[in-house]
Amino acid sequence: MRKGLQKAAIIVGLAVLAWWLLPKIAPLLGAGLDLGVAVLKIVLMVLALCALWLVSAMLWDSSKYLYRRYVIPYRRARRINRIRNRRNWEEAASRNNSVH
């Protein structure tokens, strides 16, 4: 994916997120609240979203690591054993046919 396309996707995603969250944030920014408190709440929401993104990225990377570390060697060992077992069965069958 090119850099420009990535930036555009991020901007569109943030715009959709802002459009979706605006009705939910508007009551928090009510007329009775001080501007500083409203800004603080927005900053805390942005930090919470960043933390959520970071945690999801960490989980994604750890799942890829666990897949490479444990699943791929397990599948490789199963494949090798399947080939070896088939070869042993074919060898046993050929010995059994030669006895007759």
Is the torsion defined by CA of 40, 41, 45, 48 positive or negative?
Answer: positive
Rounded to 10 degrees, the C-alpha dihedral 6/60/24/32 comes to -100
**Per-residue pLDDT at 4:** 76
**Per-residue pLDDT at 10:** 82
Residue ranges per domain, the chain?
Answer: 31-99
Q: How far apart are CA 96 and CA 94, in angstroms?
A: 5
Rounded to 10 degrees, the C-alpha dihedral 61/64/69/72 comes to -170
Tell which residue, 9, 46, 55, has the closest CA to residue 25.
Answer: 46
Q: How far apart are CA 86 and CA 100, in angstroms?
A: 22
**Per-residue pLDDT at 36:** 65
Averages of pLDDT over each 10 residues, the chain, 100 residues? 76 78 68 63 86 86 87 94 93 74
**Per-residue pLDDT at 99:** 54
Q: Which long-range contacts (CB under 8 A, 24 or more apart) does 47-51 make?
A: 49/17
**Per-residue pLDDT at 13:** 81
End-to-end CA distance of the chain: give it in Å, rounded.
65
**Per-residue pLDDT at 1:** 53
